[in-house]
Amino acid sequence: MPEGGEREPLIEAVVGDWRRAKLSDADRALCDYAEKLTLTPGEMVESDVEGLRAHGFDDLAIHDAIQVISYFNYINRVADAVHVDLEPEMPPY
């Protein structure tokens, strides 16, 4: 994070509400995919992957995204389970 704890405006916008951030169509599709995989993983269907492909993501990029999204979901659940406290510079969102 830059000196003084300030974030770039795009990062702030995405953290605050990615739907209101000025994102490309591809980035918006990826955020939508990540949200669905995070909140309702049992509802994922082939058309979700096809939607990413339609926005230019190839199979390797989709695989990488799934790995990153899933890892963060996993590690956050582990941290929640053992009551890991956030670092002081990390506001809860």
- pLDDT, tens digit, for every residue of 36-82? 999 999 999 999 999 999 999 999 999 999 999 999 999 999 998 99
- φ and ψ at 87, to 5 degrees? -70, 150
Scan for tokens 């939607």, then name that residue. 51
Note the pLDDT of residue 1. Answer: 45
Give the residue, 81 or 86, on which the prediction is more confident: 81
6-10, 13-17, 56-60: the lowest-pLDDT one? 6-10
Q: Is the pLDDT assigned to residue 88 strictly greater than 70?
A: yes
Question: Cβ(37)–Cβ(70) under 8 Å?
Answer: yes
Nearest Cα neighbor of 29 from 48, 13, 10 is 48
Give the residue, 6 or 4, on which the prediction is more confident: 6
| CATH architecture label of 24-87 | Up-down Bundle (1.20)
